[in-house]
Amino acid sequence: MSIILTSMADTVTTYAQVSNPTPEAPPLADKIQQMVQYLTWFMILSGVLAITVAGGKFAWEKWNGSAMESPKMIAGAMIGGVVATSGGTIMNAILG
């Protein structure tokens, strides 16, 4: 019976000596980071393009006197831009 207790005490001591592991980047982390940078660039480009197209459509609708649908497009592009650019900030706040 004393052998089992000694063995359990050694096991507990061994577990207590495990250190806090240091974080290490996973394999292909540099490729994933490059992909995220490309996606960020694409989001910025698509936002600028959406606002430009909506501005052109706004001018065309104003010139022709047709129904105004482009202000909704401009608002949607701006809201989408805010969501896209604040995604990283939100994730940093959540993950610490």
Residue 73 has pLDDT above 70, yes or no: yes
- Interatomic CA distance for residues 74 and 80, integer angstroms: 10
Q: What is the pLDDT of residues 12-40, one digit of tens each?
A: 555 556 677 788 888 888 898 899 889 88
Q: What is the pLDDT of residues 48-63, one digit of tens each?
A: 888 888 888 888 888 8
More confident residue, 54 or 7: 54
Residue 4 has pLDDT above 70, yes or no: no
Residue 66 has pLDDT above 60, yes or no: yes
User: What pLDDT does residue 2 have?
Assistant: 46
User: What pLDDT does residue 18 have?
Assistant: 61
What is the residue whose two structure tokens read 């706040």? 93
